[in-house]
Amino acid sequence: MKPLHAQLTPDLARAARALTQVSVDVIGEAAAIEPARVRDFEHRGIALDRADNNTLRAALEEYGAAFFAEDDEGGYGVRRKHNASKIRQLTRWEGEGGPTYEDDL
């Protein structure tokens, strides 16, 4: 699959957010875009300027979305960067290490 080099579309943004299980508030904060604007883009197709579109896409990619272009095998789309096994492994790693303490050691 070839990476998608075109602008992020509302349907791809909505699908990526669903796949990565990130709320509109969290992705809006990560992209420095008001959550209402993200919702308007995803559901009403209200355009984002190029900078906001790129920032939203980067935030979704940071949360694990991978976008790919249309090719001879099928249409454009989005999927997780990591398979289910890798996601479980990453989740376990995040829980290791015990509690953090407020000291300078």
pLDDT bracket for residue 36 (50, 70, 90): very high
What is the extent of the structural domain holding 40?
10-95
Number of domains in the chain: 1
d(CA 50, CA 57): 10
Q: Give the CATH number for residue 41.
A: 1.10.260.40
Tell me if 77 is assigned to some domain.
yes
Q: 97 or 24: which carries more pLDDT confidence?
A: 24
Q: What is the pLDDT of residue 104?
A: 45
Is 22 part of a structural domain of the chain?
yes
What average pLDDT does range 70-86 have in this prediction? 78
Is the pLDDT confidence value at 93 over 70? no
Determine the average pLDDT of the residues in 73-77.
85
Give me the pLDDT at residue 26, please.
95
Query: Is residue 105 in a domain?
Result: no
H helix intervals, 3-101? 10-20, 24-31, 35-39, 50-62, 84-95
Query: How much is the pLDDT for 105?
Result: 44
Between 85 and 62, residue with greater pLDDT: 62
pLDDT in tens, 12-23: 999 999 999 999
pLDDT at 84: 58
> 38 in a domain, yes or no?
yes
In a domain, 83, yes or no: yes
Region of 97 please: left (phi>0), alpha (psi -120 to 50) or beta: left
In a domain, 29, yes or no: yes
pLDDT at 6: 77
